[in-house]
Structure formats: structure tokens, C-alpha cells
């Protein structure tokens, strides 16, 4: 059995185990607060969350294991979870069980049976279960499982005192899950097959993984366990094992049936569920309807996007109106008092300080998105949206959950990218992020509206329709191209969980989630935005403020023969490049490059400050043709959303390689589309 214990040099290590939507992350955030670190597991692209719990003068290391439905080796999340459980870095597992969905939540615990690692069970969402009329005898369930079972409400940190006492007194060292009843189910169903297989594995043990647990995984055709067993036994024993496994049909389904039989006995003996708890009310009928469910979901999401956008604009407006000028004035005064040269003060304010201000504004906007859509997740409706669109997304190689990040991207691409965290599989999450880039964010429409009204006032709606139809084709090509590279068909995951019950949101947990999301975005934004600010400031700078004397002018005119292949003169191409930094940047760059020389000044300042300069529309009409404008609209629409989206994608996928592939693909696709549109439109304009 496991002998891992805390030492004077290492705090007690606790692993939080649970399926998605059981409140595991809520408990982790509640216990650790800001004392947490988010990274990725070594050699993997799966998020790793560690934190510190301080209780009664003692320090505990808390690890939020990836949410998973089983301990099979079908995904990186499952492999990471079971390998960490088997490692010497862990002392005790705390298994989160959703009391309102007891049968579903116990399946992961059934898969844990046979592992000799101490475990304690938390029956979470007891308040929701009571509202449903359910009751659970935690003492009876504890006796059946052979381990401590504590009823809790994680969002309110209620009922955790017994767990603290268990940890403090080190009483957990003998808390091993009583697995004998489950293995009797295996023997009853598989007969001599299980007994013989168990005998052949006598003495085979992989750390805390016992022969019986290994035997069950062999029956499930677990590839990793089969390889480990093949290396651990002699050739004769392995030959016998192969012969036994060859005669097993549908082993994974059969073992699952055994687990559910065991779970059913536990529930019957320890819990009471009203007979009418499975009846659907009118709203649930509507939410899960094949057609009406999609309409309702779109209406809810659209309302959420509007609410998040309006709230975000209000916050950004308040910050812009009441904070920016005082901040700039304060910095300029301080720099003047301590004798900083005026040139450096200008440089600092237009790069570092502007970057800081822009990052704060983006964080405020993302916080509003996180609050609105986090609320939908908290009350349990998000799973219904995923269910409604599952069949549509499956055709694109994804799953129902993928629709949410894409729809959120209409408000802000960064929000959509971070929203992909709800997808369990890293590969499907990465494909969803890659596909969500094609969705135009709110800032895109300002530039498109300007260009279409100037060059195509009578056909603006037709142009927008063409962009939408092309984006659908783009989405299809993107999903198929990256889906093939990511082997999505091989590891495609559908919706296998039950729909969680509706329940009241925990405002404390939701507030913490919103603030943490805003903090993460701010810290990431600062690194990228300030660097881009400096680069564009240097490129556009000229001592006399005339654009023709700047580096960017020389570069632009030099590469124009090449950029015209795609229908973009040098001004439009530089605006295309600037749009990759941020869609809002394109307006200022267009105004600067097509305006008078005196109005040029600093491109980045104009991008976010809204520059001044004569007849803006007339200058653009004189500087570009209709085919060039149309080509730019397509290039701009399908370009990289923004550099912040790139930074967020690196963070969410934990892969700079895949982010670079996605970014390169979007740039090339945007230029290819603009070139095709330009040469075709020349036939009509």
C-alpha cells in the first residue's frame, strides 16, 4: 500500500479528483484564493493548477487534477490524472462527488477502486440535492465505501471542518476504498476469465495500482496498461494473457456495466431520490429540443453578448473618462520633477503607458464576458447549449461545447479562446480555438462599415453577406485541415455526461472567477501590447512628424510591387499588418497613411487615440480603388484577430508551435482570399 506521507521538508500533498461540473475547481479556488499557480504539466499541453491551503497553522499543497470521467488512457487529461495519482508526489486523493448527480459522479470513483492511495470523498452540492428532494446518508455511504464521506457545499466552504481534522491528525493514511464488492461484480459477469487473469498478474504491481485494478484495465483494452504488463511478465504469462483478452468481447462496455451495478447498490442503500425527479419541466423540454433548443440558445447567447459588451463599454468608458488623463498627467509631472528628458517622456507615455492603459481596458472588457458566461455555467444552462449544438459541431470534428467559444468570439476573440477551457480534450480545444479565429469580433465591424459605406454604399449589405458566406466556407476548411492534423477523428469526444441540474449561482465563486480572469488577461496583455507599441512607435517615428520620412514609409513603398499581387497598395498592406495587432488599430493607421503629411505623427497614437486629419473619407477614396478596398476588406476580415488573441492562444493551448501554425494559416488564407477577390473584382469595377 501507499506509504507517501508529508515530511518536514514537504507539505502534505492533496490531489482533487472529480468529473467536470462537480465543483472541483470551485473548491480549489475557495481553498487557495490567490495562492495558486497555473502552468502546464511537464511534456503535456494540459493546464496544471497548484495552490497552497493554509489551515490551523499548517500548510498543504493542493493540486487540481484535470477534470475527467474515468481513469482510462483515452486522453491526455486521463493519463495525467492517473499517473499523478500513482506518483510519490501525492499523499491523499480528495474525490469530489456531485450529490445532485450521485450515479454519474460515482463512476469515476468506481474506476479508482483497486488503487491503494488514501482517499476521502466530498459530497458536494448538498444544497442542490436537498432542493431536488434528495437525501443521502453520508455515514451509510462511508461504511459501504470504507472511506470518510463528508457532505459539503464547496461554493460556500460549508462542511469542510471534518476534512481539515482528517488532514491535521493524519488519520487518512488508512483510508483505502473498499473495492471487494466491485470486484465481485467483475467475477460474476466475467466468470473464470477475471479470476484467471488476476492469477496471472499475481505479484504484478505498478506502484499503488494493484493486480485487480490492472486486470480490470486489461479487460478494457487499455493500451498503456497492456504495454506495461507485457514488459513486467514473462513471455509465457503474456501469451496466456493475450489468449484470454482475445476471447473478451466489448470489455470496456462490460466493465462499465459492472461499475454501474456496483453504483446502483450504493445508491439504493444510502440515498433517497423522489420518483418524479427525472420529469422535465417546460423550460427543459424547450432547452433540449432539436430546433427550439438552438433558437433559445442563440437568443440567450446573443443577449449575453449584448449585456457583456454594454457593460464592458461602460467600464472602459468610465476608465477612459476618469482615469487616463490623470494617469498621463501624473506621469508627465513626475518625470518633469525628477528631470527626465521630454523625448523619453513622450516615448514612455506613447508606448509603455499606453500599453498599460490598453491592457487594463481589455481586461475590463474580458471580465464582463467572463461574468456573463460564467453565470450561464454556474446556473447549469451552458451544458444545454452544448447539447443543442452537439450534432452540428460533430460534423466539423468538434463537440457541442465548441459552439460557445465561437459565439463568444463575436464579442471578443480573447473571450472565445479562454472560453474553450470547458472542452475536456486538448486536441478538440485547440481545434475549437483555431476555428474561433474566423469569427469576427465586435471591433471588426467598425472598419468594415467605414470601407463598405465609402466604396460600396449601394452594395454594402451584399458585401457583408459575401463575407459571411466566405467565413462559413473558411470555417469548414479550417476544421477539416486542422482536424486532420490533430487526429480529431481518432480521439473525438462527444457529450457523455448527464446534464447538470439548474441551481442558484454562487456569487462569491463567480466573483473570484471573474477577477482571476481579468488578472490573467491583464498580465498577459502587458507583455504583448507594450512590445507592439514600441515597435510601431519606432517604425512610424520621424523627427519632423512627416510620414514620408519614416521607416514604415520606406518599407511600404519598397514592398508595394509584391503586396499588389494581393490587391493591397502599401498603405492598405500596412493597415492590414496593423490590424493583426488589433482591429481597432486599422482605423488609425488608415487615417494616418491616407491623410495629409502633417496629420501623420505617430501611427500607434492615432490607432487608439483616433487621430485628426481633414476629409478622412475623401483621402481614402483618392488613395485606393474599389477593387483594392474590397480586397482589403477580405484580408482584414480573415486576418489574425489581434496579437492579444495570439498571446491568449499560446496560454490556453500551452503550445507556441500550434499557435504559430494557426497564425501563419490565417495570414496566408487572408492574403490568398484578398488576391482572388481583387483580381475578380477588377472585371466589374
Query: Is residue 56 annotated as involved in ligand binding?
Result: no
Query: Is residue 40 annotated as involved in ligand binding?
Result: no
Query: Is residue 125 annotated as involved in ligand binding?
Result: yes
Which positions ≥6 away from 556 have C-beta within 8 Å? Answer: 570, 571, 573, 574, 593
| Contact predicate 452/633, CB 8 Å | yes
Tell me, what DSSP letter sits at residue 352?
A: I
Query: Is residue 124 annotated as involved in ligand binding?
Result: yes
Nearest Cα residue to 637 out of 459, 464, 476: 464
Give the phi and the psi of residue 207 in degrees, each rounded to 5: 65, -115
Query: Is residue 21 annotated as involved in ligand binding?
Result: yes
Rounded to 10 degrees, what is the CA torsion of 80, 84, 87, 90? 170
DSSP 475-520: HHHHHHHHHHHTTHHHH-----SPPPPP----HHHHHHHHHHHHHH
Query: Is residue 25 annotated as involved in ligand binding?
Result: yes
Which positions ≥6 away from 100 have C-beta within 8 Å? Answer: 125, 128, 129, 132, 134, 500, 501, 503
3-state helix, strand, coil in the chain (%, to 5): 65, 10, 25
Query: Is residue 61 annotated as involved in ligand binding?
Result: no
Query: Is residue 457 annotated as involved in ligand binding?
Result: no
Query: Is residue 582 annotated as involved in ligand binding?
Result: no
Which letter, b or e, does each residue of 595-631 get, where b requires 16 or more Cβ atoms within 10 Å of its Cβ?
A: beeebbbbbbbbbbeebebeebeebbeebbbebbbbb
User: What's the count of helices (H) and strands (E) in the chain, helices before strands?
Assistant: 34, 9
Distance CA(263)–CA(284), nearest Å, equals 26
Query: Is residue 30 annotated as involved in ligand binding?
Result: yes
Query: Is residue 44 annotated as involved in ligand binding?
Result: yes
Query: Is residue 550 annotated as involved in ligand binding?
Result: no
Distance CA(387)–CA(288), nearest Å, equals 7
Query: Is residue 401 annotated as involved in ligand binding?
Result: no
Q: How many angstroms separate the first and last alpha carbons of the chain?
A: 79
Q: What is the crossing angle of helices 426-436 and 460-485, to 10°?
A: 160
Rounded to 10 degrees, what is the CA torsion of 168, 173, 175, 176? 150
Query: Is residue 67 annotated as involved in ligand binding?
Result: yes
Distance CA(59)–CA(349), nearest Å, equals 43
Query: Is residue 43 annotated as involved in ligand binding?
Result: yes
| Contact predicate 62/35, CB 8 Å | no
Query: Is residue 46 annotated as involved in ligand binding?
Result: yes
Query: Is residue 22 annotated as involved in ligand binding?
Result: yes
Query: Is residue 601 annotated as involved in ligand binding?
Result: no
Torsion sign, CA atoms 254, 260, 261, 262? positive
Cell of 322: 476618469
Query: Is residue 32 annotated as involved in ligand binding?
Result: yes
Nearest Cα residue to 555 out of 567, 563, 566: 563
Distance CA(97)–CA(17), nearest Å, equals 9
Distance CA(72)–CA(68), nearest Å, equals 9
| Strand duo 149-151 + 271-272: pairing | unpaired
CA 406 to chain centre: 12
Cell of 144: 459501504
3-state SS class at 613: coil
Beta-bridge partners for 63? 15, 50
Query: Is residue 89 annotated as involved in ligand binding?
Result: no
Query: Is residue 126 annotated as involved in ligand binding?
Result: yes
| Contact predicate 656/536, CB 8 Å | no
Torsion sign, CA atoms 567, 471, 536, 626? positive
Which positions ≥6 away from 275 have C-beta within 8 Å? Answer: none
For the annotated binding site for Mg(2+), the residues are: 29-30, 32-33
Annotated binding site for GTP: 18-25, 43-47, 64-67, 124-127
Q: Which residues are annotated as a binding site?
A: 18-25, 29-30, 32-33, 43-47, 64-67, 124-127
Amino acid at each position: 500500500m501507499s506509504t507517501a506521507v508529508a515530511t518536514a521538508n514537504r507539505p502534505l500533498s492533496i490531489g482533487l479528483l472529480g468529473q467536470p461540473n462537480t465543483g472541483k475547481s470551485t473548491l480549489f479556488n475557495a481553498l487557495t484564493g490567490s495562492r495558486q499557480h497555473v502552468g502546464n504539466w511537464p511534456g503535456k499541453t494540459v493546464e496544471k493548477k497548484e495552490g497552497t491551503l493554509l489551515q490551523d497553522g499548517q500548510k498543504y499543497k493542493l493540486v487540481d487534477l484535470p477534470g475527467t470521467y474515468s481513469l482510462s488512457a483515452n486522453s491526455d487529461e486521463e493519463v495525467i490524472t492517473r499517473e499523478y495519482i500513482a506518483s510519490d508526489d501525492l499523499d491523499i486523493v480528495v474525490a469530489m462527488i456531485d450529490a445532485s448527480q450521485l450515479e454519474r459522479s460515482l463512476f469515476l470513483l468506481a474506476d479508482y477502486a483497486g488503487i491503494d492511495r488514501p482517499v476521502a470523498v466530498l459530497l458536494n452540492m448538498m444544497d442542490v440535492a436537498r432542493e431536488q428532494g434528495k437525501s443521502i446518508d453520508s455515514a451509510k455511504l462511508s461504511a459501504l465505501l470504507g472511506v470518510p464521506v463528508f457532505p459539503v457545499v464547496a461554493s460556500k466552504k460549508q462542511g469542510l471542518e471534518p476534512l481539515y481534522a482528517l488532514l491535521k491528525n493524519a488519520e487518512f493514511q488508512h483510508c483505502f476504498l473498499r473495492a471487494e464488492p466491485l470486484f465481485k461484480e467483475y467475477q460474476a459477469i466475467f466468470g473464470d476469465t477475471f479470476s484467471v487473469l488476476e492469477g496471472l498478474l499475481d505479484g504484478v504491481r505498478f506502484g499503488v495500482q494493484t493486480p485487480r485494478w490492472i486486470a480490470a484495465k486489461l479487460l478494457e483494452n487499455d493500451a498503456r496498461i497492456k504495454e506495461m504488463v507485457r514488459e513486467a511478465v514473462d513471455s509465457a504469462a503474456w501469451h496466456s494473457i493475450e489468449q484470454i483478452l482475445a476471447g473478451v468481447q466489448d470489455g470496456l462496455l462490460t466493465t462499465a456495466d459492472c461499475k454501474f451495478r456496483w453504483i446502483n447498490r450504493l445508491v439504493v442503500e444510502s440515498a433517497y431520490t423522489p420518483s418524479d425527479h427525472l420529469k422535465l419541466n417546460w423550460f427543459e423540454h424547450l432547452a433540449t429540443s432539436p430546433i427550439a433548443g438552438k433558437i433559445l440558445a442563440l437568443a440567450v447567447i446573443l443577449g449575453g453578448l449584448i449585456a457583456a459588451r454594454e457593460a464592458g463599454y461602460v467600464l472602459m468608458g468610465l476608465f477612459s473618462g476618469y482615469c487616463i488623463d490623470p494617469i498621463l498627467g501624473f506621469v508627465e509631472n513626475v518625470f518633469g520633477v525628477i528631470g527626465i528628458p521630454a523625448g523619453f517622456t513622450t516615448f514612455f507615455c506613447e508606448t509603455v503607458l499606453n500599453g498599460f492603459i490598453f491592457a487594463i481596458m481589455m481586461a475590463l472588457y474580458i471580465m464582463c464576458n467572463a461574468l456573463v458566461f460564467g453565470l450561464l455555467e454556474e446556473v447549469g444552462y451552458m451544458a444545454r447549449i452544448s447539447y443543442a449544438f452537439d450534432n452540428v459541431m460533430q460534423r466539423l470534428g468538434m463537440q457541442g461545447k465548441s459552439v460557445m467559444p465561437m459565439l463568444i468570439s463575436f464579442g471578443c476573440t480573447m473571450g472565445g479562446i479562454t472560453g474553450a477551457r470547458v472542452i475536456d480534450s486538448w486536441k478538440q480545444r485547440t481545434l475549437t480555438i483555431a476555428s474561433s479565429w474566423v469569427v469576427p469580433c465586435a471591433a471588426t465591424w467598425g472598419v468594415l462599415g467605414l470601407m463598405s459605406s465609402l466604396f460600396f454604399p449601394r452594395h454594402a449589405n451584399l458585401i457583408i453577406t459575401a463575407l459571411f458566406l466566405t467565413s462559413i466556407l473558411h470555417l469548414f476548411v479550417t476544421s477539416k485541415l486542422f482536424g486532420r492534423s490533430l487526429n480529431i477523428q481518432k480521439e473525438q469526444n462527444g457529450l457523455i455526461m448527464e446534464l447538470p441540474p439548474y441551481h442558484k449561482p454562487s456569487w462569491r465563486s463567480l466573483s473570484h472567477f471573474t477577477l482571476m480572469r481579468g488578472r490573467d488577461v491583464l498580465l498577459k496583455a502587458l507583455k504583448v501590447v507594450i512590445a507592439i507599441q514600441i515597435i510601431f512607435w519606432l517604425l512610424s517615428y520621424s523627427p519632423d512628424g512627416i510620414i514620408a520620412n519614416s521607416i514604415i514609409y520606406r518599407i511600404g513603398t519598397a514592398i508595394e510591387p509584391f503586396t499588389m499581387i494581393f490587391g493591397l497598395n502599401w498603405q492598405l498592406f500596412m493597415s492590414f499588418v496593423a490590424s493583426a495587432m488589433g482591429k481597432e488599430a486599422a482605423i488609425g493607421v488608415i487615417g494616418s497613411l491616407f491623410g495629409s503629411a502633417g496629420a501623420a505623427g505617430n501611427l500607434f497614437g492615432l490607432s487608439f487615440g483616433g487621430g485628426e486629419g481633414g476629409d478622412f473619407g475623401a483621402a481614402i477614396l483618392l488613395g485606393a480603388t474599389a477593387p483594392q478596398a474590397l480586397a482589403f476588406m477580405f484580408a482584414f476580415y480573415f486576418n489574425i484577430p489581434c496579437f492579444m488573441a495570439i498571446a491568449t492562444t499560446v496560454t490556453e493551448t500551452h503550445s507556441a508551435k500550434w499557435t504559430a501554425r494557426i497564425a501563419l494559416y490565417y495570414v496566408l488564407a487572408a492574403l490568398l482570399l484578398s488576391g482572388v477577390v481583387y483580381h475578380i473584382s477588377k472585371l466589374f469595377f
